[in-house]
Amino acid sequence: MKRLFLIFILVTSQYCWASENIEKQSKSLNKVINPPAGRLAYVSDGNSPDPDDIAGNAVTLAILGKSGLSDRLVHFSYACDLDPFRNPISNQKIDVENELRRQKVLKFSADKASEIYGPFNNVSKNYNCRTEQQEATDDLVKAINSSTENNPLWIIEAGEPDLIGYALEAAKADSIKYVHVVSHHPANDNSGDFFTWKQILDFGVNEHQIGDQNVGLQTEINKWDWAKNHNDKGIAFIWDMLAYVESDGVVKFQTNKYDCSDAGMVYWWITGASNGGNKFSTPEDIKKILIM
């Protein structure tokens, strides 16, 4: 009887310790999740020349879903390099066959992540900007026109600025002052085929430059070992997308690197945006949100 009592005490103590630990982790994570007011729009490329958005899109949807912010997302689009066979600031090129392949993989990545981490009730669909340019533009215009002082729109520029430019051009001028555009790299800002970055800013948006997210999120492969063959299908899927990016082969600078860098802008937004958001996220930061 005494032995059973001791076992009971031991098990109870371990349970209490585990519960307290989970509660502490939850409170710590709640301090991390501190988004600003308003809604989120995400415009990404990935169809030329860099494949990083294949993983970045999946991680973005994952951290939004796990943070309980899925309903804040009102627009999602990919393949936003509208003319993928010219690149004004890079000698990196993609051919027709690989660009079409990328579009298919980008769709798979976004749709699968939406299925696992959704539902994203305020996203009508994940738009392919190459094949659904007008529909994607109209959807973003709708989000811009709904912007107010108390309900602004934060547009994540995770690719060329052209779709954003077309949407701003068609939107109501008095709504644009409540639009924020977030960037992390001049390779996006200055690669538009139809709009310069100055033209985007001249519409009157609020600009946020948070610094190169490749610093923390284009990493050695082993930084993501915790996600490999994970028993959580969502985390295992993210590792698969990171591995696909590394093996894509069109550009050499992803060799031996796992890259979801554009997701760093969404992490910044989740953690406070211009009110102290984390500009230097790493795979460990992503892990803390995904493994709750």
- At 183-238, the pLDDT tens digits run 999 988 898 999 999 999 999 999 999 999 999 999 999 999 999 999 999 999 99
- Amino acid 88: pLDDT: 56
Cβ count within 10 A of residue 177? 13
Is residue 92 very low, low, confident or very high in pLDDT (cuts 50, 70, 90)?
confident
Share of the chain above pLDDT 70, in %: 88
Give me the mean pLDDT over the 71-97 stretch: 89
Q: What is the DSSP letter of 38?
A: S
Helix, strand or coil, per DSSP, at residue 156: strand
The tokens of 127 are what?
Answer: 């738009």
Cβ proximity of 136 and 77 under 8 Å: yes
Helix, strand or coil, per DSSP, at residue 88: coil
Helix, strand or coil, per DSSP, at residue 263: helix
What whole-number distance in Å separates Cα of residue 219 and Cα of residue 282? 9
Domain boundaries, the chain: 38-290
The torsion angle over the Cα atoms of residues 192, 197, 198 and 203, rounded to 10 degrees, is 100
Sequence-ordered list of residues with C-beta below 8 angstroms from that of 69, at least 6 positions apart, any chain: 33, 35, 40, 270
Helix, strand or coil, per DSSP, at residue 30: helix
β-bridge partners, 127: 77
What whole-number distance in Å separates Cα of residue 182 and Cα of residue 86? 24
Cβ proximity of 69 and 30 under 8 Å: no
Task: Report which of residues 153 and 24 the model is more confident about.
Answer: 153
Cβ count within 10 A of residue 280? 14
CA angle 44, 50, 53 (to 5 degrees): 35
What whole-number distance in Å separates Cα of residue 277 and Cα of residue 39? 16
CATH of domain 38-290: 3.90.245
CA nearest 262: which of 114, 57, 81, 104? 57
- Amino acid 26: pLDDT: 44
What whole-number distance in Å separates Cα of residue 114 and Cα of residue 132? 19
